[in-house]
Amino acid sequence: MSDWLRYLFLFVIVVLLQVIIGNNIHLFGVAIPFFYIYFILRLPLSLSVNWVMTLAFVLGLTIDIFSNTPGMNALACVVLAALRKPVLNLYTPRGEDYAEAVPSIRSFGMSLYVRYALTLSLCFCAALFLVESLSLLNIGRLIARVAASTALTFLVILGMDSLTKSGREKRL
């Protein structure tokens, strides 16, 4: 139960971070930090994919409502949620079992978590900006936006994870 509350709290925090701060940052005109995908990355691996996708959809739609882009963030979030397990399987050596883990630097180790977060940030940004550019396609700008936003989002996720780490350790 308290886990649920903790995730609800995290949900609210990432939504507020995104709509109040994230959506107003356009670093060099291209890079937008996506705070809120940290919520999806953080969901426990024991949670079924269907639940992860449902939560991702709700989260994306919430962001959409705030930024007047119905469907756009939700679609990218659902894609991200679906790719979470396959990406992890790609990087984990056979035999190592993370099935019950909550993804974080502490449980994964730095190198695996970096690969995990970076790949998923890239997938998310690619999906989001592809959907966005359906209305106005500009390849060069699209690539710049995806690359810059991926980098910024990745940094933000690392930062958020190291902030939540201390609390996690106390509980364990």
Q: Which is nearer to other proteins, 20 or 143 (CB)?
A: 20
DSSP string, 22-89: GGG--BTTTB---TTHHHHHHS-TTS-HHHHHHHHHHHHHHHHHHHT-TTHHHHHHHHHHHHHHHHHH
Choose which of 8, 20, 137, 143 interacts with other proteins (CB under 8 A): 20
Q: Does 11 bind other proteins (CB under 8 A)?
A: no
Work out the burial of residue 69: count CB atoms within 10 Å of its CB; fewer than 13 is exposed, 13-18 middle, 19 or more buried. Answer: middle
Torsion of CA 4, 18, 121, 152, to 10 degrees: -140
Q: Does 64 bind other proteins (CB under 8 A)?
A: yes
Q: Does 133 bind other proteins (CB under 8 A)?
A: no
Q: Which is nearer to other proteins, 49 or 110 (CB)?
A: 49
CB of 134 to other proteins, least distance (A): 8
Q: Does 120 bind other proteins (CB under 8 A)?
A: no
Give contact residues for other proteins (rule: CB under 8 A): 16, 19-20, 48-50, 53-54, 57, 60-61, 64-68, 70-72, 74-75, 78-79, 82, 131, 134
